Every structure is written in C-alpha cells, then in structure tokens.
C-alpha cells in the first residue's frame, strides 16, 4: 500500500507555472500507475494526467494538453505535475492517486489510494 501526499499548490497569477509534487510513502511505489485529478467548486472531479508504473507511457487530458506534463521518479517515490501558462479555469484542488494497474488509466475506479489534495488558485 501507498499513501500519496501532495504539495506545491498556492496562489499564482495567470501565465505563471507550477510544479506539483506527490510523495507516495510505501515500499512498492513503482508497482502503481499514478494519476493527477482536479476538482473545482461546483464541478465534477476530472482526470488531467496519468502515468504508467515505469513512466514510459502517459496520458494528458485534451483540455490541458500542451500545458500539463506528468512525470515520475521512482527512486524518490515521487510523481510530478508540471503546469505551464496557468489560467483561472485551472483553479481547483489537485489530487494525486495510485492505481492498481501497470498502464496509465483515466478511470477513477482504478485508483485505490488518494491524497488529501493541494489547492491551486489562479488570479487574472
């Protein structure tokens, strides 16, 4: 089992960049595909990026492709979400989660361990 813990959120201006980090405590981190989700007030939780256990394959949502990049460093038990050119619409709580799969997946039901989230707020 793993326990993801997110960090790196904050208050930024439109056009800025952020790198969110997720440390997943546990000896078997490399056995889990990982993903990033976000939930804005009044909206459903959505997957924005996912990455396979090896880091060789990844998925980025079409709505954020070109601005969001997911990566992982298994030696550090850490997954990252690089966000460039932040927009007010990106304001949300961002969650890191671990899936019981090898390959990257966008399905929420595949994720069995979730972090508490980190707030990202983007001003105009």
Tokens for 23?
A: 């440390």
Q: Which of 84, 83, 116 is nearest to 97 (CA)?
A: 116
Rounded CA-CA distance 24/120 in Å is: 20
Half-sphere exposure of 47 (CA within 13 A, CB side): 22
Residue 8, Ramachandran bin (φ over 0: left; ψ between -120 and 50: alpha; else beta): left
Angle 121-73-75 from CA coordinates, rounded to 5°: 135
For residue 19, what are the contacts with CB-CB under 8 A and spacing of at least 6? 8, 80, 81, 82, 83
pLDDT tens, N- to C-terminus, the chain (124 residues): 889 999 999 999 999 999 999 998 776 777 889 999 999 999 999 999 999 988 999 999 999 999 999 999 988 999 999 999 999 999 999 999 999 898 999 999 999 999 999 999 999 9
CA-based torsion, 28, 30, 36, 37: positive or negative = negative
Rounded CA-CA distance 32/122 in Å is: 31
């Amino acid at each position: 089992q793993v326990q993801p813990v997110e960090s790196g959120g904050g208050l930024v201006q439109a056009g800025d960049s952020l790198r969110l980090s997720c440390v997943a405590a546990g000896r078997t981190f490399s056995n889990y595909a990982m993903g990033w989700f976000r939930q804005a007030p009044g909206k459903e939780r959505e997957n924005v990026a996912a990455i396979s256990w090896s880091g060789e394959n990844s998925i980025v949502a079409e709505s954020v492709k070109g601005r969001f990049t997911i990566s992982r460093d298994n030696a550090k038990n850490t997954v990252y979400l690089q966000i460039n050119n932040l927009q007010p619409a990106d304001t949300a709580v961002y969650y890191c989660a671990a899936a019981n799969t090898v390959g990257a997946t966008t399905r929420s039901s595949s994720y069995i361990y979730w972090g508490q989230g980190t707030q990202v707020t983007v001003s105009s």
